[in-house]
Amino acid sequence: MLAEDDITNQLVALGILKKLGLRADAVLNGAEVLIAMTANAMQGDRELCLEAGMNDYITKPVSPQALAEMLDKWLPKSLLDRACKKT
């Protein structure tokens, strides 16, 4: 699940995921998901997000490489292996 309050950013992130062979549902706020992307990229924001209960932290604009690295960290290897074979 992808939390993003901007429709354009939703489409970009979903497009990156699709190119990686993955699929996600998009929602408008972080209250509906476990891991979220944030535009808060100031010093200390990472710690605040983690203290608030986020599992990890990735800032926008998100790059395909950064998103792929985050997915590699959190998704089961078997799922990523299947996704990579599709691309």
The one-letter amino acid at 71: L
Containing structural domain, residue 79: 2-86
Q: What's the structural domain count of the chain?
A: 1
Q: Residue 53: which pLDDT band, with cuts at 50, 70 and 90? A: confident
Q: Are 30 and 58 in contact (CB under 8 A)?
A: no
Using DSSP bridges, classify how beta strands 26-27 and 2-3 pair: parallel, antiparallel or unpaired. parallel
Structure tokens at 83: 């996704």
Structure tokens at 8: 């354009």
pLDDT above 90: residue 33: no
CATH number at residue 74: 3.40.50.2300
Name the pTM for this structure.
0.61
Q: What is the C-alpha separation between 4 and 13, in angstroms, rounded?
A: 9
The tokens 């800032």 sit on which residue? 59
pLDDT at 2: 86
Rounded to the nearest integer, the mean pLDDT of the chain is 82
pLDDT above 90: residue 82: no
The stretch 43-69 carries a mean pLDDT of 86
